[in-house]
Chain A
Amino acid sequence: MVSVNRTATAFGIGLREHARNYVLVALLVVLPVSFITLAFAVTQDVQMPVRTVVDGETTTVMRGMPEVHGVIMTPITSSFIAGLAGLFLMREARDTDGRLAVVGYRARQVIAARFGVLAVITLVVVAVSVGVMLIDFQPEQLWWFVAAMLVLSVTYGLIGMLVGAAFNRLAGLWIMLILPMIDIGLFQDPLFVQSEPEWWMKLFPGYHPVRVMVDTGLTTDLDTAASLGWGAGYLLVVGLLAVWVYYRGTRTT
């Protein structure tokens, strides 16, 4: 009972604390509109060749450029905000959460509360980003698209935590700004990389989820279910690493 009470209290108060992070709230309001809506507004409606998977084979289909931008800019936006949320969470918690251990919180209670807060923030970020996207673009298979968005955004939230453990706030901010841009917006963007990406590009967190998003956003059949599984596996590995780093960093017992 005490354990549940501690976890629930730390989770509830943690949510309230992050809701008062005005930088995060401002990003949540400003970024989806400026990244996603503006991308649709300024992109010329011309047909472009897009690399995707059809019946298990990598192939090229013709799609409108705004649609492709929608598929790419939406995960960039959510990954960026989720990554910053993870960064802020780790930077702010790593000193003070150690005091929670001294007053009696167990490691699992603090970890459950902190990762729970990150999960809720990521859900909100994905909901807002997809909601803004839906104004201009409807994915062919919405729920598979959302599933891939969740996998990618949570992964980036956890990467933000790892970056927060290793770098200061400013350096972390730059890393979390640049990483989703070059990963999702360059290496995985089928407009930029029209053939199969190089092996090292596939190591980035965006590779598998973006394959799913391009597939389910622009075609009517799901041909990339395995990629969703690989993306979930990537998320699991990053998650375990984040838990370990958090545990080490905050010295909870």
Chain B
Amino acid sequence: METTTAPTETVGESKTLVRGNALEKTYGSRLPLGRSTPVLTGADIEVRAGEIVGIVGENGSGKSTLMKILVGVLDHDVGTVERTGTVGWCPQEPLLYDRLTVSETFRLFGAGYGMSREEIDAAKRRLADELDFERYLDYRVDQLSGGNRQKVNLSIALMHDPDVLMLDEPYTGFDWETYLRFWDMAQDLANDGTAVVMISHLIEERSRLDRVFEVRDGLVHDVTDEETESGLRSDPEGEHE
């Protein structure tokens, strides 16, 4: 297993910010005779600055596993990961501390990013305004609705203006206006050079993605110009309040 943060080369006009080579991952069982589950068997992926990349695939195909490996929160068994610049990660399940207020959550994670108090406050105000949760800043996370919790989850990934943004179904629970605002934000970030990688299920989003990768049979296939085998859902029911 190898992970580096060395700069990678430029392809055309865009610099490659994340590259995973021949990634393999098998989930073992805790029990001696339990079953091991191979998820990735040699996946390759490359993400460049300023593009919005979609990762699709069936349930259990390994999309989230791939993203966690690229982010660095999960070990891979074989292969290499190269990352350049800062990373923002929005996990599928909000990984937040329930008994902290939204403001305290910004402070905790902002300190981790190395931001000053002023920078944290500015980012908090900007994101709360853009995603419309200013009135909940003093609420505890466990007092928020699912949608507002997800807004905070996304904001933590965005607050330090990362070079690479990794989003695992970031819009779950968003209302329609927030969903559209989110896409505007993602497009603005990409225009400013941020690489946005997103696990996605919705067919409406396909036109917004520069490239689409499908995780299938443990490998990553570039399906930008073709229909994916699993298909993207056309019915966003349940995704938006």
Does any Cβ of B come within 8 Å of A152's Cβ?
A: no
Q: Which of A5, A18, A104 has the most CB of B within 10 A?
A: A104
Among the stretches B50-58, B106-114, B131-139, B227-235, the one at the interface with A is B106-114
Does any Cβ of A come within 8 Å of B213's Cβ?
A: no
Pairwise interchain contact B113-A104, C-beta atoms closer than 8 A: yes
Residues from chain B with a CB closer than 8 A to the CB of A251 are: 73-75
Contact digits for A1-26, partner B, Cβ 8 Å, 1 yes 0 no? 01001100110010011101100000
Among the stretches B19-27, B34-42, B95-103, the one at the interface with A is B95-103
Q: Which of A13, A103, A251 has the most CB of B within 10 A?
A: A103
- Would you list which residues of chain B between 156 and 185 have a CB under 8 Å from chain A? 156, 160
CB distance from B98 to the nearest CB of A (A): 8
Does any Cβ of B come within 8 Å of A49's Cβ?
A: no
Pairwise interchain contact B112-A105, C-beta atoms closer than 8 A: yes
Which size bracket describes the interface of A in this complex? Answer: 20 to 34
Nearest B-chain residue to A101, judged by Cβ? B73
Nearest A-chain residue to B98, judged by Cβ? A92
The CA-CA distance from A242 to B97 in the complex, in Å, is 21
Pairwise interchain contact B95-A98, C-beta atoms closer than 8 A: yes
Contact digits for A212-227, partner B, Cβ 8 Å, 1 yes 0 no? 0000000000000000
Residues from chain B with a CB closer than 8 A to the CB of A96 are: 95-97
Pairwise interchain contact B112-A6, C-beta atoms closer than 8 A: yes
Pairwise interchain contact B74-A13, C-beta atoms closer than 8 A: no
Residues from chain A with a CB closer than 8 A to the CB of B87 are: 102
Residues from chain B with a CB closer than 8 A to the CB of A105 are: 112
Pairwise interchain contact A13-B73, C-beta atoms closer than 8 A: no
8 contacts between A and B (CB under 8 A): A6-B112, A9-B111, A18-B99, A92-B98, A95-B95, A96-B95, A99-B109, A103-B113
Listed in ascending order, the chain B residues whose CB lies under 8 Å from chain A are 71-75, 87, 89, 91, 95-100, 104, 107-109, 111-114, 140, 156, 160
Since A103-B156, A104-B112 are in contact, a sample of 8 more A-B pairs with Cβ atoms closer than 8 Å, ordered by chain A residue number, is A10-B111, A17-B99, A98-B95, A99-B91, A99-B109, A102-B73, A103-B109, A253-B72
